[in-house]
Chains A and B, each alone.
Chain A
């Protein structure tokens, strides 16, 4: 099937996901180089562009981490190509050092940084807001407000970057990236560029000189950078992506950006307030266009700023209002800071309705109190939450079972530092609450490296860390080098499930293929660790007996960093092809049920969704459909009542 991204009919209207709209905009702009590191809600952009790389003559790369991704994209720009780099909000932190320097020098071919952020942390461990980077590092920021704008502004971001010769950031959020709507397509260009890196000019010759960040160059580079920003402001004053709807002299002015504008529109329609309230939607949120804001701030005393994340717009508009106090007069501000909107979490139309009602004295009740009470009663009676869990046959369940049991057996209050990936669930019941520290990509091993040096202060607890295979390359390697060089007493367990499983099996340097499917050499994690001259063990987490012995031995062998690589592909991995290794069954004669004394170890503690405790019939069953046939539970049952037959 032909990707919708290749649709060549100008004016064709289709249902596009926000991320696909961004991809299409990049194609219409004539992007050449696309890089990124996977992370929800951003991953589809690189994935979909990889699928059309052949037809559109693109270089698409899943890079080792976001910093390198940005550098690879910047190389494209410095070779006069159009580049795009895509990441989730946390990735911008990883890329920040290079970002500062790229923004200081500027670009040649267009360079667009796409950050897909996650207000409400729907699939993140944080509510990181990358918009302040634009202000801090002085480059333009664009925020599309709907699906059509996601496409159009992605395209415009390239044009703006070409015009001002600096990086431009396009910020999306989950509710745009993962939502869909009508998008009218434009034309796909046909030009074929030629890559060349010129360095014959002087260092201040941006198009032909060497690209250098020297102390003596910082003053002129920064002055040049600020000129680029002024040029962007001039474009923003006229931008069609800044729109106003409402009366000339509104009683309340709402200023918003991003998908929040849809929430505001919906709220104003429901409350029937379009003749009293004005809506200024900003697509260009840094730098703010001062003339446009002055004009609208002058027209109204009450200003309601609607945004997700930090009060970025709110603070910047307040500064602008102070600078223009003489022209615009004294304002009353409403937003996240004064409690009109909650200070954290994502927004929605209901929160907007509530906020507007508080300011305007209006009211809205979608359903009767009677209905709400009934709904609340039923919800209270149900409370059937779908707790997140590892999939049936997930190697992580076996790995955490092993780490959990050896740390208990060891009995020295040992603990496990976690990392970012599916295995973060190791902090919850499905991972037997084994992980005790869980923060950022690569931080588990970094902290283990620290804990492992605290023996001089009397710390005697064994320290372990886990990371996935993709994470190993992304941020764990430098931390492991640190642990090795400083001889930290800790064990790193690499949960190698052959791919970036959580975000959809994107390849990484340990995979044999590129983003576009071409063959690439594998970097072997075992060899890399061995090269650091430390003890490295490799085992299969499904082999509980052998792996437990290795782990116990590693715990005994303290004093230095040790590595255990647990290799077993993800249960959902395409390389498994849904094959079962074992046909599982219950030997009813052997299962002693409540008389066993195991207290239902299999279903109460091990808790694989493939095992069912039938409360009515009082027996254990294997769910034929869900069971992945990994065979692990056969080794959990103390009476051997779960049997595993090698599958044909």
Chain B
């Protein structure tokens, strides 16, 4: 193996809202790890979530395997959030003082907010919460970058790219390419590679 894991098991949560491509992002990371010989468990919450609900994937990456698809509370090492409030929700349950966060800053309003019954917290407030619940939080606007590519859904692959730049997991561009070649239609490979590279640079630029 070209690299080792920052922790074993490495507990990763990917969170977002139905339709953001959470599930594909977690499967791509899982496939990349299995391709390199690791044991992976992914627990996913879907079902009614395609109707605008919260979606959360738990990834347990290890050399040993046999881990639960639900990780114990307070034990996440990394939270990759496609939506800021979803990150807060996850941190409150699975966070700890050492957890790291990568977060897309673009909110997705809930129905309560849209119809004027609830107020979405201000960005300053959200950043403050991140600081008090994590060791390190990095922000990016993958939605904006993905819209430049033509579809907000590429935000999920950008977030995978961003995760690769942390060095927590062995995630080379080559392995990513190998994995998506088997996963998505041939005409979508180039644009996903581009999204991955953009995501990778979103973090290292800062």
A-B contact count (CB 8 A): 172
| Assembled-state Cα–Cα distance A625/B151 (Å) | 11
How far is the CB of A45 from the nearest CB of chain B, in Å? Answer: 15
Contact with A along B69-90 (1 / 0, CB 8 A): 1111111000000000100110
Would you call A349 and B132 a contact (CB within 8 A)? no
When the two chains form their complex, are residues A600 and B116 in contact, meaning their CB atoms are under 8 A apart?
yes
Contacts of A613 in B (CB 8 A): 114-116
Given contacts A180-B30, A353-B72, contact A390 B40 (CB under 8 A): no
Cβ–Cβ < 8 Å partners of A572 in chain B? 50
Contact with A along B40-82 (1 / 0, CB 8 A): 1111111110111110000000000111111111110000000
CA distance A41 to B69 in the complex (A): 15
- Determine whether the beta carbon of B116 is less than 8 Å from that of A182: no
Asked whether A40 and B69 contact (CB < 8 A) given A13-B34, A382-B121, A609-B111, the answer is: no
Interface check A447, CB cutoff 8 A: no
Q: Mark B20-35, 1 if CB is under 8 A from A, else 0.
A: 0000000100110010
Q: Which residues, 175 to 194 on A, are CB-close (under 8 Å) to B?
A: 175-176, 178-182
Known: A13-B34, A422-B51, A604-B116. A348 touches B89 (CB 8 A): no
Q: Is the CB of A382 within 8 A of B69?
A: no
For chain B, residues 91 to 116, give those with C-beta under 8 angstroms from any C-beta of chain A: 91-93, 95-97, 109-116
- On chain B, the residues within 8 Å of A391 by CB distance are 51-52
Interface size on B, residues (CB 8 A): 61
- For B185, give the chain A residue with the smallest CB separation: A1
In the bound complex, CA of A390 to CA of B51 (Å):
7
Task: Return A495 CB to nearest CB of chain B, in Å.
Answer: 16
Q: Specify which of A266, A267, A384, A615 lies most central, judged by the most chain B CB atoms within 10 Å of its CB.
A: A384
* A387 near B121: Cβ-Cβ < 8 Å: no
Interface flag for B12 (CB, 8 Å): no
Instruction: Judge whether B85 and A382 touch: CB under 8 Å.
Output: yes
Binds B, one of A333-341, A371-379, A431-439: A371-379
Residues of A within 8 A of B116 (CB): 600, 603-604, 613, 615
Partner of B182, one of A1, A366, A379: A1
A residues near B (Cβ < 8 Å) are: 1, 4, 13-15, 40-41, 122-123, 146-147, 174-176, 178-182, 259, 262-263, 265-267, 270, 348-350, 353, 366-368, 371, 374-376, 378-379, 381-382, 384-391, 422, 425, 430, 572, 600, 603-604, 607, 609, 611-613, 615, 623, 625
In the A-B complex, list the 5 residue pairs whose CB atoms are closest, starting with the nearest.
A123-B47, A366-B74, A179-B69, A613-B116, A375-B92
Q: A378-B88, A385-B110, A613-B116 are in contact. List 6 more A-B contacts (CB 8 A).
A: A123-B47, A179-B44, A265-B66, A265-B68, A388-B51, A603-B116
26 example contacts (A-B, Cβ-Cβ < 8 A) are as follows: A1-B182, A1-B184, A14-B31, A15-B27, A122-B47, A180-B27, A180-B41, A182-B39, A259-B69, A262-B68, A265-B68, A366-B73, A366-B96, A375-B133, A378-B133, A379-B88, A384-B120, A385-B112, A386-B53, A388-B53, A425-B51, A603-B114, A607-B114, A609-B111, A611-B115, A625-B152
